Amino acid sequence: MPDKLQDILVTPAEMAAIDRDAASSGIDSFSLMRSAGTSVSAAALRLFPAALRFVVLCGPGNNGGDGYVAAAALVESGAEVAVFSFGDPAMLKGDAARARDACALTPESVEAYRPRTGDVVIDALFGAGLARDLPEPLQAVIERVNESGIPVVAVDLPSGLDGRTGEVRGASFVAAHTVTFMAAKPGHVLMPGRSRCGTLEVADIGIPARLISARAGHLRVNTPASWKDHAAALDPATHKYRRGHLGVLSGGQAATGAARLSAAVGLRAGAGLVTLASPPDALAVNAAHLTAVMLKEVRNASDLAAWLKDKRLNAFVLGPGFGIGKKARDFALMLCDRALVLDADGMTSFSEGRAELFERIAQGGGDVVMTPHEGEFVRLFPEVAADARLSKIEKAAAAAKLSHAVIVLKGPDTVIADPSGRAVVNANAPPWLATAGSGDVLAGIVGAHLAQGMPAFEAAAAAVWRHGEAGTRAGRTATAETLVDHIPPLA
Ligand SMILES: NC(=O)C1=CN([C@@H]2O[C@H](COP(=O)(O)OP(=O)(O)OC[C@H]3O[C@@H](n4cnc5c(N)ncnc54)[C@H](OP(=O)(O)O)[C@@H]3O)[C@@H](O)[C@H]2O)[C@H](O)CC1
Ligand SMILES: [K+]
């Protein structure tokens, strides 16, 4: 795959436009289908050399066409092959009809398929053209195959998965391997889609990269390529103030641990200095637990205003364990014109009165990153959360636009979006990263990056990636504390 396309995510609608562009630039569309189908047959033969029979399930569109090409290629390889179709194969049109004609096998109705030991299913029912929930009889076939444990190789997407959202439309195959074409789609990386694709192979079927780049939006998988230019600019040898001074705001006596985690990881993640701002009742407990992190008494808004006179303090984390209410709102509004990570209680405090926050963020010109999990997102952006048509990427982007902040919508498929519509989907987080305090650690890494002068979007994307890597390095028994010890280098 050309390097340029490595991390790009292309929506099904963009892919359809790319197909049209390819055809109008003179590329033979049937040759694309032939490449698509033969890359699927090659994958099936490579991955399942001991298959007793390949069962190709073909749908009513071009995904089915790819299936007929694959079936013919498998027959040619000497394998035992059966074809089952959904819909009348005589109704196929264009390239798909041509592919059907080039396949010598006579399809049976898909509802007649009964899984047999030794079968490998090639799922070519629907790909990019899935437009609605699957009909009941097809759902039953899919569930039968899933229950049988027979391996499935999916063409483009496991049928039933929506390529734009990753949602299941009634039922979907759970594939062992998916072969998609030219670029991954959002449905391959968003949940639950990602968990149903098996290993993902992106096959080059010969569409020029320039046609893909011309149509693709600003959507990518989150890899270091998304932010490494900004990371490389950070010079670890610079004076400690030049690596930034991060302020983390602690909650009261009974809830100090969360902010201390953010502060501790802030140093690990590269902030030159980190100061924990503590209310008087929590000073003693914080002091007892800190070494390299500094401590400062901040009782109220006027203390904060006095502290903010130190312009070297260039980024803040507000929210972990802070407490919900007016104090959090007042503090957040004061910090909006510096780089700020608004997390947890910091966000929830604005379940009412968010308009003032969003306005301040817009006016502030600072870099503000908000890091909601799903529940916090519903509280802060109820109208966006309730819009069932939107994918997780589209939700994060809509919230970013509304709030003028960079949004980190957390989960196993964390999405980072900025107000301009740029978005990345993270895919390196192990499941055990969902542990108590994990979000506090993430907020601290984002804060450290902001303190080092990274722009908000890159700061957030890099933090989510490092957090995921730390989870992998810390292993299954990871706790928030051990994550701190496993943060990988930034560059
Ligand atoms: N990307 C490329 O360059 C290439 C892609 N190829 C393959 O083509 C498919 C996309 O083909 P398309 O024909 O657009 O779509 P599908 O085959 O996925 O499905 C369309 C047909 O399915 C019907 N449909 C849709 N949803 C349902 C449903 N829930 N239940 C029943 N039927 C459904 C739809 O009918 P309509 O009534 O909605 O029109 C269509 O008949 C892509 O995924 C690749 O595999 C090329 O082969 C190579 C180039
Ligand atoms: K499919």
Does any ligand 1 atom lie closer than 6 A to the CB of residue 60? Answer: yes
Query: Tell me, what CATH number does 199's domain have?
Result: 3.40.50.10260
Is the four-CA dihedral 441, 275, 268, 337 of positive or negative sign?
positive
Does residue 467 contact residue 408 with C-beta atoms inside 8 Å?
no
Q: Is 491 inside a domain boundary?
A: no
Q: Based on the fold, state whether residues 86 and 108 are members of the same structural domain.
A: yes
Q: Based on the fold, state whether residues 190 and 145 are members of the same structural domain.
A: yes
Does any ligand 1 atom lie closer than 6 A to the CB of residue 239? Answer: no
Query: Tell me, what CATH number does 383's domain have?
Result: 3.40.1190.20
Q: Write the residue with the smallest CA distance to atom 45 of ligand 1.
A: 63
Does any ligand 1 atom lie closer than 6 A to the CB of residue 458? Answer: no
Q: Write the residue with the smallest CA distance to atom 40 of ligand 1.
A: 61
Q: How far apart are CA 405 and CA 486, in angstroms?
A: 28
**Helix (H/G/I), strand (E/B), else coil: 370:** strand
Q: Based on the fold, state whether residues 189 and 295 are members of the same structural domain.
A: no
Phi, psi of 380 (to 5 degrees): -90, -30
**Is 206 marked within a binding site?**
no
Q: Based on the fold, state whether residues 114 and 32 are members of the same structural domain.
A: yes
- The pTM is what? 0.96
Q: How far apart are CA 273 and CA 243, in angstroms?
A: 8
Does any ligand 1 atom lie closer than 6 A to the CB of residue 61? Answer: yes
Q: Which ligand is nearest to the CA of 30?
A: 1
Q: How far apart are CA 462 and CA 222, in angstroms?
A: 8
Q: Which of 5, 9, 29, 63 to mutate to test the pocket of ligand 1 (most atoms within 8 A of CB)?
A: 63
Does any ligand 1 atom lie closer than 6 A to the CB of residue 62? Answer: yes
Structural domain total, the chain:
2
Q: Write the residue with the smallest CA distance to atom 31 of ligand 1.
A: 134
Does residue 282 contact residue 246 with C-beta atoms inside 8 Å?
no
* Single-letter amino acid, residue 414: T
Whose structure tokens read 């006095």?
A: 306
Does residue 202 contact residue 180 with C-beta atoms inside 8 Å?
yes
Q: Which residues constitute the domain of residue 53? A: 3-217
Instruction: Please list the pLDDT of the chain residue by residue as tens digits (491 residues).
Output: 556 678 999 999 999 999 999 999 999 999 999 999 999 999 999 999 999 999 999 999 999 999 999 999 999 999 999 999 999 999 999 999 999 999 999 999 999 999 999 999 999 999 999 989 999 999 999 999 999 999 999 999 999 999 999 999 999 999 999 999 999 999 999 999 999 999 999 999 999 999 999 999 889 999 999 998 888 666 666 666 558 999 999 999 999 999 999 999 999 999 999 999 999 999 999 999 989 999 999 999 999 999 999 999 999 999 999 999 999 999 999 999 999 999 999 999 999 899 999 999 999 988 999 999 999 999 999 999 999 999 999 999 999 999 999 999 999 999 999 999 999 999 999 999 999 999 999 999 999 999 999 999 999 999 999 999 999 999 999 999 999 999 998 87
Q: Based on the fold, state whether residues 274 and 367 are members of the same structural domain.
A: yes
Interval between CA 83 and ligand 1 midpoint (Å): 18
Cα angle value 99/105/107 (rounded, 5°): 90
Q: Is 38 inside a domain boundary?
A: yes
